[in-house]
């Protein structure tokens, strides 16, 4: 159990940035882990197809705080596709022996020891679930640009 609470993970957990509500955010979403009770609400702004601003309210265990801290440090400038791909890679790392996210989200790999503790997977994935839920909300509320362009005369 000590390996999932390494100095690196605890450092992330103790240094969560971008806390609070992002007033006027383009989207927000919440996620909750029933198993550990962790709760997270994320707020994000998008500009030119990338996350331009981000904040979150985190009430989570150390692992949830660590993954949230890494998300906050990496998400600005990320495209929805990058975030969704990192979510898939993170889930594969925890459940299927994958290597974990690459690129801007590679620091999430420090959470690899959590793989051996399935009861902790939910708290690590919480930040991805909330961010992707916020992106899905944006997708649902934004008209398809190709469709709109096709109707312009």
The CA distance from 6 to 72, in Å, is: 20
What is the SS3 assignment for 142?
A: coil
Question: Which tens digits make up the pLDDT trace of 11-36?
Answer: 999 999 999 999 999 999 999 988 88
DSSP sequence for 15-40? ---SBS--TT-SEEEEEE-TTT--EE
Question: Which tens digits make up the pLDDT trace of 55-111?
Answer: 999 999 999 999 999 999 999 999 999 999 999 999 999 999 999 999 999 999 999
Q: What is the DSSP letter of 48?
A: T
pTM above 0.95? no
CA distances from 59 to 36, 64, 92, 113 (A): 11, 8, 25, 22
> Taking Cα atoms as reference points, which of 113, 13, 126 lies closest to residue 62?
13
Taken in order of first residue, the domains within the chain and their CATH numbers are 2-135 (3.90.1010.10)
What is the SS3 assignment for 83?
A: helix
């Amino acid at each position: 159990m000590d390996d999932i609470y390494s100095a690196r993970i605890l450092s992330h957990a103790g240094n969560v940035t971008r806390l609070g509500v992002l007033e006027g955010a383009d989207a927000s979403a919440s996620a909750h882990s029933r198993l550990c009770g962790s709760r997270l609400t994320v707020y994000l702004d998008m500009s030119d197809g990338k996350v331009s601003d981000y904040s979150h309210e985190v009430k989570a265990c150390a692992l949830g705080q660590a993954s949230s801290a890494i998300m906050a440090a990496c998400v600005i400038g990320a495209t929805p596709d990058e975030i969704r791909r990192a979510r898939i890679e993170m889930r594969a790392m925890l459940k299927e022996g994958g290597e974990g996210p690459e690129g801007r989200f590679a620091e999430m790999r420090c959470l690899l020891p959590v793989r051996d503790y399935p009861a902790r997977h939910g708290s690590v994935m919480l930040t991805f679930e909330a961010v992707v839920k916020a992106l899905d909300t944006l997708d649902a509320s934004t008209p398809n640009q190709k469709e709109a362009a096709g109707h312009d005369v």
